[in-house]
Amino acid sequence: MLEVRNLSVDYRGNRALEEVSLFIPLGQLVGIIGPNGAGKSTLVEAMLNLIPITQGKVQFKDRPLKDQLLKTSYVPQRTLIDWDYPVTVWNVVLMAQTVQTGLFRGVSRKARHLASEALERVNLYDLRDRPIGELSGGQQQRVFLARALAKKAELLVFDEPFTGVDRKTEDIIYDIFRDLRTEGKTVLVINHDLGDSLAIYDQLLLLNKRLIAQGPRQEVITSENLARAYGRGLARVFA
Ligand code: ADP
Ligand code: MG
């Protein structure tokens, strides 16, 4: 169980997240939706101990998640990544593991094997020696997906992975999400889109500063919930 209790976050006195509580059974593929500025990124960053929280508790398997971050893997929003950083595809994927292997002990055979396997899974092994900045948006997203896979995490978090990617990448990402669930991993995906793509999730979290709804798509995507999250206009379009 992944458990969030009364989580609140403030940025310099402005509340971004208000007493969010939720429970997610392990092994689920969960979509996090809500308007721009709803606090979706803030929620996952707070859960992963990347930003300070005002109050609350985040537990994974009955222990604080922040003590188990090696079991997690996080792919931030595209805009938070420095794409000009001079690093090859191969090293981006390998870097996921330097925490575990220790940077100065050299890269183990196992780490290299995991990196190769992950790059093959996302169809990018042939581009492994290219600088990350030279790749297309979709390819770049797949590099970070490979990096997350190579870490063999139990809890994976993706912030808007479908933004700025091509159709081929989208299909690969969906396939991998399904595989991860089959492997029993818990996967949280922030999804900007409210369309058909939501069908793949076991459950949805609808957020707008507070948790507005949590559950299967049919229960979450109702005109009343959407009106509370997005205002009346959009609710009419989607429900
Ligand atoms: P979402 O990911 O749903 O679009 P965010 O979590 O990025 O929303 O932002 C939630 C709110 O917190 C927004 O009002 C945003 O402007 C604010 N916010 C996010 N990050 C910061 C920050 N580093 N400093 C100050 N305010 C922030
Ligand atoms: Mg965001």
**Residue 82 CB neighbour total at 10 angstroms:** 9
Q: pLDDT band for 233, please (50, 70, 90 cuts).
A: low
Q: pLDDT band for 86, please (50, 70, 90 cuts).
A: confident
Percent of all residues in the chain with a pLDDT value above 90, rounded to a whole number = 75
pLDDT at 235 over 70: no
- Half-sphere exposure of residue 177: CA atoms within 13 angstroms, side-chain side: 25
- For 222-232, how does the pLDDT look when each residue is reduced to its tens digit (9 = 90+)? 999 999 998 87
pTM across the whole model: 0.91
Orientation angle between helical segments 137-150 and 109-121, nearest 10 degrees: 140
Average confidence score pLDDT of the chain: 90
- Which atom of ligand 1 lies nearest, measured to the CA of 34? 3
Rounded distance from Cα 93 to ligand 2 centre (Å): 23
Rounded distance from Cα 12 to ligand 1 centre (Å): 11
Rounded distance from Cα 104 to ligand 2 centre (Å): 34
Please count the residues of the chain: 239
Assess contact for 148 and 75: CB atoms under 8 A: yes
When divided into structural domains, the chain yields a total of: 1
E-strand stretches of the chain? 2-11, 14-24, 29-33, 55-60, 63-64, 72-75, 155-159, 186-190, 203-208, 210-215
Please compute the mean of the pLDDT values over residues 161-176 and round it to a whole number.
90
100 versus 160: which is more confidently predicted?
160
Q: What is the pLDDT of residue 195?
A: 75
Q: What is the pLDDT of residue 95?
A: 81
Ligand positioned closest to the Cα atom of 45: 1
Please compute the mean of the pLDDT values over residues 135-164 and round it to a whole number.
92
**Residue ranges making up the domain that contains 17:** 2-238
Assess contact for 28 and 200: CB atoms under 8 A: no
**Residue 222 CB neighbour total at 10 angstroms:** 15
pLDDT at 237 over 70: no
Gap between the Cα atoms of 30 and 13, Å rounded: 30
Q: pLDDT band for 150, please (50, 70, 90 cuts).
A: very high
Per mean pLDDT, which range of 82-86, 100-104, 169-173 is the poorest?
A: 100-104
Assess contact for 177 and 189: CB atoms under 8 A: yes
Q: What is the pLDDT of residue 103?
A: 54
Specify the CATH number for the domain of residue 134. 3.40.50.300
Segment (H or E) for 236? helix 232-238
Q: What is the pLDDT of residue 85?
A: 78
- Which residue CA neighbors atom 10 of ligand 1 most closely? 39
Assess contact for 26 and 184: CB atoms under 8 A: yes
- Which residue CA neighbors atom 23 of ligand 1 most closely? 11
Q: What is the pLDDT of residue 54?
A: 97
